[in-house]
Amino acid sequence: MKEPPRDPFPDSTVALAWEGYRFASNRLRRFGTDAFSCRLMMKKAVCIGGPAAAALFYDSGSVERKDVAPGRIEKTLLGQGGIHGLDGLAHRHRKEMYLELMGPQSLSSFTPILVRTWREAAASWQPGTRLNLFSEAQTVLFRTMCEWAGIPLGPRETQQRAADAAAMVDAFGGIAWRNWKGRFARRRSERWMHGIVSATRDRTSAPSPTSALARIANFRDVDGNLLPAEVTAVELLNVIRPALAIPYFLDLAALKLSEISEMRDQVASNDEMLDCFVQELRRFCPFTPFLGARSRREIAWQGFRIPSDTLVVLDVYGIHRDERVWQNAAAFAPLRFQGVGDYRFSLLQQGGGDHLSGHRCAGEWFTIEALKFFSRELARMPYAVIPASSSFSLTRIPSRLIPPVALRLG
């Protein structure tokens, strides 16, 4: 076996920050391989991409997640002690709880709350209103998730709590103030959630026993112990916070529906086209740039040697743009999903592989349902996008359309 080609920089962290989403795919293309080695934050790393990369990355016998997430991401996006850093039996046990809470069987309780909350917000809109869809959707989704989870939320605290959840999401690729803003937001949010957990456990508060709040507050680990209140607060935020990523996809939805009237008509009335449109939003929108794990053992892959205890970085953005995985990958083409049933290792915004045994997000069904609802609402609304032309920044993580878009309601 040979070593993967090496990025010549002594450490590539600055290059990653400078190049953003294209960091890994730029080098994979230059080397003409599906793997290269480098140093990231002074740690040895192997970046992988291409059609077979995700299958390796989600092979729990080859890689693990424990202690992999950088501190700057744990202190903003993920929190410390949550499911993202677990492996093996501990991960499976906790994931079972999440899937019982957020599997497809729970959409019947989630969707009506989302619809009502959106309609309440929309009731005040008038023709000519300039709507910040991104911001409006953040508040609606935050209120929806809190109500669904049984988390008490006073009307005066909604905006600040929603802004904090949004800041945690926006900080995961940020530097300087954007990262610190996310850290402060997480501290406030965890203190808030810690108080709610304590009130639930000492029975000062009595949420529905079937609610996410009650289930997570009373969840016991594989040894039969309650999770520490600090970890429980993190896991409750893991129910709510991922929904605040959905607005990053909605600006793209509004833009594409305004550009192609035929697509707009089909999304408004055809369920199959709606499904395809939402999946293409998830593929095309640059949100997740990379994912990280650590090799459990020495791995032979694609003729290369990946040493044990090496950081393994999956090029998510590059796989979504790889012509070997997705024909005409640079085009927004929803019909590519007609008849496509298995994309566990090719559509990776919410992770890959199996939901239970792997690290695919348990909230994926909620995300898809919310995107379907919002996309159909947009397809049926009269609006114009301002400005009419906008494109993604591929150096900002998570990416936003530049210039930011707004809707002028008709």
In 3-state terms the chain splits into helix, strand, coil percentages (rounded to 5) of: 50, 10, 35
For residue 151, the model assigns a pLDDT of: 97
Residue 5 binned pLDDT confidence (cut-offs 50, 70, 90)? very high
Q: At what angle do helices 271-284 and 247-259 cross, to 10 degrees?
A: 120
Cα–Cα distances (Å) from 86 to 63, 91, 224, in that order, read 12, 5, 17
- What letter represents residue 238's amino acid? N
Q: Is-contact 358 351, C-beta < 8 A?
A: yes
How far is it, in rounded angstroms, from Cα 164 to Cα 377? 26
What integer is the mean pLDDT of 30-40?
A: 98
- Token reading at 405: 């878009």
Reported as a single tens digit per residue, the pLDDT across 117-140 is: 999 999 999 999 999 999 999 999
Per-residue model confidence (pLDDT) at position 203: 87
Domains of the chain: 89-286+328-409 (1.10.630.10)
Report the pLDDT averaged over residues 132-159: 96
Pseudo-torsion of CA 222, 224, 229, 234, nearest 10°? 20
User: Of 238, 233, 187, 191, which is closest to residue 78 (Cα–Cα)?
Assistant: 238
Q: Tell me: the pLDDT tens digits for 272-303?
A: 999 999 999 999 999 999 999 999 999 999 99
CA atoms of 26 and 11, how far apart (whole Å): 16
At residue 173 the predicted structure's pLDDT band, cuts being 50, 70 and 90, is confident
78: left (phi over 0), alpha (psi -120 to 50) or beta: alpha
What pLDDT, on the 0 to 100 scale, is given for residue 149?
98
C-alpha–C-alpha distance, residues 286 and 321, integer Å: 10
One-letter amino acid at 166 equals A
Rounded CA-CA distance 96/372 in Å is 25
pLDDT at 235: 97
Q: Rounded to the nearest 10 degrees, what angle do helices 107-122 and 364-380 cross at?
A: 40
- Say if pTM beats, i.e. exceeds, 0.85: yes
